[in-house]
């Protein structure tokens, strides 16, 4: 008969094996958990979502917005509360341009090291700042550094948020040069990709993101040449979310309601 000691060792080995398998699973192949956690969209649809983390951060957020406007692309911006306080006009400009927004914590600290109460405070404090500044409420949340555990996912979900990770990283935070940023994205994109880029740098104000700005037009151009359509995260995941960007299902529902009233 197995001893309690052997059972504990066996259980620990299973957990470690699961963690190793998950760590080495490609991002695009990781499983979504509907309405809780997403890594990517539908792999059968040739659509991708550009996302920008750590903003607003001037002048680079405004420069990213200009590129997106010139290219007629809508994206999703995950905002840091402290940075919204610093650059409120940039935050309002994101929403005014019709982009989707998400919550990216107040000061970009690793939430895995926080208590449940601290995790809730980070999210709720940023939620209040975003809504007060932009007039919009978001239900998208991306944890700083993409780091999470069972408790952070649970607390996020309890607060009514959907956690959004990514399946492609531009690795622009390394500042490797615009050519490398372009290559990192274009070579890795697949149907349904959620692409991680940065218009900011954690809580640092004015951090240089000129390489990201320079790479963005070519990324859009090359992916379009491959037949990809750019959509926001709510559109990619078909989420019925509050905010200026409506999903296809929400728009159809609104149209149906309008028809009934005729």
Active site residues: 53, 198
Q: How far, in Å, CA of 260 to CA of 77, rounded? A: 35
Residues 6+ apart with CB under 8 A from 46: 191, 227, 228, 229
3-state secondary structure of 177: coil
Q: How far, in Å, CA of 78 to CA of 14, rounded? A: 35
At residue 38's C-alpha, the angle toward residues 88 and 95, to 5°, is 20
Half-sphere exposure of 8 toward its Cβ, with a 13 Å CA cutoff?
Answer: 3
- Tell me which H or E stretch contains 24: helix 4-24
Please give the torsion angle defined by the CA atoms of residues 25, 29, 33 and 37, in that order, rounded to the nearest 10 degrees: 80
3-state secondary structure of 76: strand
């Amino acid at each position: 008969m197995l001893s309690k000691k052997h059972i504990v060792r066996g259980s620990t080995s299973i957990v470690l094996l699961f963690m190793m398998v998950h760590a080495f699973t490609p991002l695009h192949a990781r499983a979504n958990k509907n309405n809780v956690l997403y890594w990517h969209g539908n792999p059968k649809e040739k659509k991708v979502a550009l996302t920008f983390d750590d903003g607003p951060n001037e002048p680079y957020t405004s420069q990213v917005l200009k590129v997106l406007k010139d290219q007629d692309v809508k994206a999703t911006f995950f905002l840091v509360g402290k940075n919204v306080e610093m650059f409120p006009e940039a935050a309002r400009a994101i929403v005014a341009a019709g982009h989707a927004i998400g919550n990216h914590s107040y000061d970009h600290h690793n939430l895995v090291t926080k208590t449940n109460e601290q995790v809730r405070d980070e999210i709720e404090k940023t939620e209040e700042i975003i809504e007060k500044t932009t007039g919009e409420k978001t239900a998208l949340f991306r944890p700083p550094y993409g780091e999470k555990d069972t408790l952070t996912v649970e607390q996020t979900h309890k607060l009514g948020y959907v956690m959004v990770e990514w399946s492609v990283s531009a690795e622009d935070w390394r500042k490797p040069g615009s050519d490398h940023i372009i290559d990192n994205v274009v070579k890795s994109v697949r149907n349904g990709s959620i692409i991680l880029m940065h218009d900011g740098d954690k809580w640092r104000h004015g951090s240089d993101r000129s390489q990201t700005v320079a790479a963005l037009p070519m990324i859009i151009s090359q992916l379009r040449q491959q037949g990809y359509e750019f959509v926001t995260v709510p559109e990619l995941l078909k989420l019925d979310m509050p905010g200026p960007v409506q999903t296809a299902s929400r728009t159809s529902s609104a149209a149906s309601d309008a028809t009934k009233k005729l």
